[in-house]
Structure 1
């Protein structure tokens, strides 16, 4: 079936994101170095994030709350107010970080927009922050639809690709997360195209569906146009 719709993930597919979390965790570890070693602190923060996704969703604000919760836990509720204040400051720094597009991102989105495909941005996270990043990226004009969702599931992909296109069977989803961008898109009936990024959040990792007819891997977004031509 002819491909009519291309979906792009945003964070670490089109622009840098995870590196800001890594840098923030470094600053967080420095703040709490008197109370916990780095490995233990990272593990407890990850567990807090895992617990809190259902409450706060994805994004920087939920990450800030998980850092505060972890700081309270590792200090046995003795964390100084000055540390809480600093956590809030570094979280606000994350919310202001400038957008830096990844190599080939603009060219890939523009090429798809100038073809006869409908081009979508499908991302999860905080609504205000994702809108800010999209606006500052300068890519907004290329998208026929933007969906900021709380979770990426097969049902979400089926709904989005049906609402904005001709159904998942005629759609391609492109992203850096095997768990969120590839596996559920394939389960919905779409093509799942993985573009690996050098940094990967532990909660977004999953096994690749090796051998699946609708699974592809690209080294970079510059290869996307050729792949789309190849598969339809």
Structure 2
């Protein structure tokens, strides 16, 4: 089998992530509904997502962004319904957001088995994840992922084409045998296609709207979509068999 270079995403590709944010949004909505009689759950969630996306676009994926987006949403409804902004209420809101980054990292089913098999098959594994170094390193350490990605772990607060290019320049791999594997069309798949490497999209069961974009570029390499991480080793075996690069 021809060795492939696999650049793998972390959050919602190898481990659970979005569900913690969703739980925090629901807790935040319940809190605000107790303070304001008028807004519905849907209105609160929609406004928070709108503010959160703007904050991420401007500030990146640092763990401070989500709690602050909840606070900004609280401010919005205070202004809209003429309620006084209280420091103690801000603190309660901010703690809901901060709690997301205190959750113990939880791997997807068969994550270790899949990574073991990929290494056994001779592939070279790199990790390319978005967020701040402190939080992402915490999760990587908790799950003992360093041995799987001894070739390189890359953490960026901005995860896009520019940062993926930095990874490619660092690892100097052959584009024909290099893959980006992740759940996000925006931060994993689109950058890979723009840079001419192969890409495998593994959609998350519940996806953050930030990650959803239309792919309107014709791939130079292979672009595939798998239903689950568990399918990855077999897919790559079949690909290598039928598309051997000499």
Taking structure 1 as the reference length, what is the TM-score of the superposition? 0.90
How is 1:49-88 mapped onto 2 (pairs within 5 angstroms)?
A: 49-76=52-79, 78-88=84-94
What corresponds to 1:37 in structure 2?
Answer: 40
Q: Which segment drifts farther, 131-140 or 14-23? A: 131-140
What corresponds to 2:244 in structure 1?
Answer: none
Secondary structure at 1:147's aligned position in 2? Answer: strand
Task: Report the count of equivalent residues.
Answer: 231
Task: Let me know the Cα RMSD of the aligned residues.
Answer: 2.1
Is there any run of 5+ residues in structure 1 with no aligned partner, and where? none
Q: Which segment drifts farther, 55-64 or 194-203? A: 55-64
What corresponds to 1:47 in structure 2?
Answer: 50
Taking structure 2 as the reference length, what is the TM-score of the superposition? 0.86
Within the candidate set 177, 189, 195, 2:196 is matched to 189
Within the candidate set 157, 164, 172, 2:179 is matched to 172
How is 1:76-225 mapped onto 2 (pairs within 5 angstroms)?
A: 76=79, 78-143=84-149, 144-208=151-215, 212=219, 214-225=222-233
- Offset at residue 209 of structure 1 (A): 6.1
Q: Check whether the contact 1:57–1:126 (CA below 8 A) recurs between aligned residues.
A: no
Distance 1:120 1:197 in 2: 20
Q: Which segment drifts farther, 214-223 or 202-211? A: 202-211
- Offset at residue 157 of structure 1 (A): 2.2
Residues 3 and 184 of structure 1, relative CA distance in 2, 3 Å threshold: farther
How is 1:6-17 mapped onto 2 (pairs within 5 angstroms)?
A: 6-17=6-17
Q: Which segment drifts farther, 13-22 or 162-171? A: 162-171
What corresponds to 1:21 in structure 2?
Answer: 21
Distance 2:204 2:217 in 1: 18
Larger Rg: 2
Q: Which segment drifts farther, 43-52 or 133-142? A: 43-52
Q: Which segment drifts farther, 108-117 or 119-128? A: 108-117
Distance 1:152 1:122 in 2: 8
Residues 161 and 116 of structure 1, relative CA distance in 2, 3 Å threshold: farther
Secondary structure at 1:121's aligned position in 2? Answer: strand
